[in-house]
Copies of this chain bind each other. A is one copy, B any other.
């Protein structure tokens, strides 16, 4: 199994929230993977996938891109240790994914943007600035201008996940599942590139993130990034 994985200036600083979903999912399945550092501008390297974004995996003769499609592929191909268990979990996690992306990715990006931009590989900076300024209709400096406010927005927006994590140790229940890896993505994105403090230690989401960082021999905690406050 090979996975093309977004890297910052250093090969071993991996920061994509979408790629982290799949790193965690592969570890959940107990599948070995060789990750290949990739930058936004390395479009040719994944041209075989017919599109230009990571994660992309190659599993024998099969190539899959898009983190949701990869998760479904993994469960369909390797049904042991399901990421999404039972007929309702896949559609419910699909709605959860759009909630995470629409409610949480924005505030996390705004909270870490100066650090994220500084961490990028030099060859990616112009691409990142141009594509993101087009997407947001504002300069990066405007988008990332008020990290304190972004952190406050994130903490408010986290309410549904927080309430779920008061009830059970993982969003998926007693054990982690793909919904947890979806929610973990933006936190690991931040941790890889920024010392920004996103959560207070008394937040149930903080304790959950600790559990996520400990999974699979500390896969995420041992990855290059900044410590989280305890």
Contact = CB atoms under 8 A, between A and B. Distances in A.
Nearest to A92: B92
A114 B230 CA distance: 48
A92 B92 CA distance: 7
5 contacts: A85-B87, A88-B179, A94-B168, A95-B164, A103-B160
A98 B179 contact: no
A96 B90 CA distance: 13
Contacts of A171: 91-92, 95
A95 B170 contact: no
A50 interface: no
Contacts of A144: none
Contacts of A89: 86, 88-89, 92
B159 A91 contact: no
B160 A92 contact: no
